[in-house]
């Protein structure tokens, strides 16, 4: 690992171990796809299996956990927390689409200071630690340098079927696409969207009503790769629902102004 921090080392070990189960389970999905019952229950079980491994590897730290599947698990240290999404991109996983990841963020006194996003299918491990930069496997990553908003490659997600602001989310999509050449993607994994902004693959990402565990690790990746990231509600990030915008520094203002 290019960064030497006890939290990164722990997260790395936990993600590597959990990814083996995730890859094995992904191999089962194809068979279940054609079964009468479908893979729904299996995916839920897989989510839980992966989370269990992550927790058992990380609990040596005695930190608190906030996870997608279990919620809050109080540890000895209340101001140090692991924020976990065992499978981000569950719907992709369910449909046999190879675009999902494990996301683990480490939060200290309410601030994310390090994180790992691991895509086990592409074998891409994105990680960052405050003040130490952001990496993809062995290479340093940086946000893109594009300043022409018209040509930007953007990514977004949602709205969820249960959203009460579906219409305005769709209007927003329209507004952004009118201001660009409409290179807007929807990948189905918010964590990978942020990792890809950090790696300069996307120039910007936005999404309304996102969960904290979907974006926790991505926050530090974007910051450490020279990008800007904020909650449009002008609150912190550790809220139940976040309206997130992340991009390279050059198109950030323009993207915010449209939203």
Q: Which helix (H) or strand (E) holds 66?
A: strand 63-67
Rounded to a whole number of angstroms, the minimum distance from the CB of residue 109 to ligand LIP is 25
Q: Which is nearer to ligand LIP, 91 or 150 (CB)?
A: 91
Binding mask 146-175 for ligand LIP (x = CB under 6 A): -----------xx-x---------------
Q: Which is nearer to ligand LIP, 99 or 146 (CB)?
A: 99
Binding mask 66-105 for ligand LIP (x = CB under 6 A): --x----------------x--xxx---------------
The residue assigned the tokens 């601030």 is: 111
First to last CA, the chain: 38
Residue 101, CA distances (Å) to 121, 158, 187, 194, 195 in order: 8, 18, 12, 12, 10
Binding mask 8-47 for ligand LIP (x = CB under 6 A): ----------------------------------------
Give the residue, chosen from 211, 226, 232, 258, that forms a contact with ligand LIP under the rule CB under 6 A: 211
Rounded to a whole number of angstroms, the minimum distance from the CB of residue 54 to ligand LIP is 13
91, 188 in Cβ contact below 8 A? yes
For 6-27, b where at least 16 C-beta lie within 10 A, e where not — what string?
ebbebbbebbeebbebbeebbe
| Residue number of the CB atom closest to ligand LIP | 157
**Residues numbered 113-142 forming contacts with ligand LIP, rule: CB under 6 A:** none
Q: Which is nearer to ligand LIP, 3 or 243 (CB)?
A: 243
* Count of CB atoms situated within 10 Å of the CB of 209: 18
Kindly compute the dihedral angle of the four CA atoms of residues 115, 119, 122, 127, in this order, to the nearest 10 degrees.
Answer: 0
Task: Using CB under 6 A, list all residues that contact ligand LIP.
Answer: 68, 85, 88-90, 157-158, 160, 188-190, 210-211, 214
């Amino acid at each position: 690992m290019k960064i030497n921090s006890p939290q990164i080392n722990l997260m790395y070990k936990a993600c590597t171990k959990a990814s083996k189960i995730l890859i094995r389970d992904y191999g089962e999905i194809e068979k279940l796809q054609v079964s009468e019952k479908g893979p729904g229950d299996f995916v839920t079980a897989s989510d839980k299996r992966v989370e269990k491994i992550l927790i058992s590897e990380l609990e040596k730290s005695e930190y608190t956990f906030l996870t997608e599947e279990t919620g809050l698990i109080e540890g000895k240290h209340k101001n140090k927390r692991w924020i976990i999404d065992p499978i981000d991109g569950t719907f992709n996983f369910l449909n046999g689409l190879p675009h999902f990841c494990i996301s683990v963020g480490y939060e200290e006194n309410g601030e994310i200071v390090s994180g790992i996003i691991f895509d086990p299918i592409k074998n891409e491990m994105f990680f960052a630690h405050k003040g130490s930069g952001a990496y993809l496997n062995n290479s340093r990553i940086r946000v893109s340098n594009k300043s022409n908003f018209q040509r930007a490659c953007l990514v977004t997600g949602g709205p969820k079927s249960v959203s009460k602001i579906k219409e305005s989310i769709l209007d927003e999509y329209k507004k952004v696409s009118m201001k660009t050449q409409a290179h807007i993607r929807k990948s189905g994994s918010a964590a990978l969207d942020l990792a890809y902004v950090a790696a300069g693959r996307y120039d910007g990402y936005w999404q309304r009503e996102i969960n904290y565990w979907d974006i926790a690790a991505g926050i530090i990746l974007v910051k450490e790769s020279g990008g800007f990231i904020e909650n449009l509600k002008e609150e912190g990030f550790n809220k139940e629902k976040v309206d997130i915008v992340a991009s390279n520094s050059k198109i950030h203002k323009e993207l915010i102004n449209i939203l």
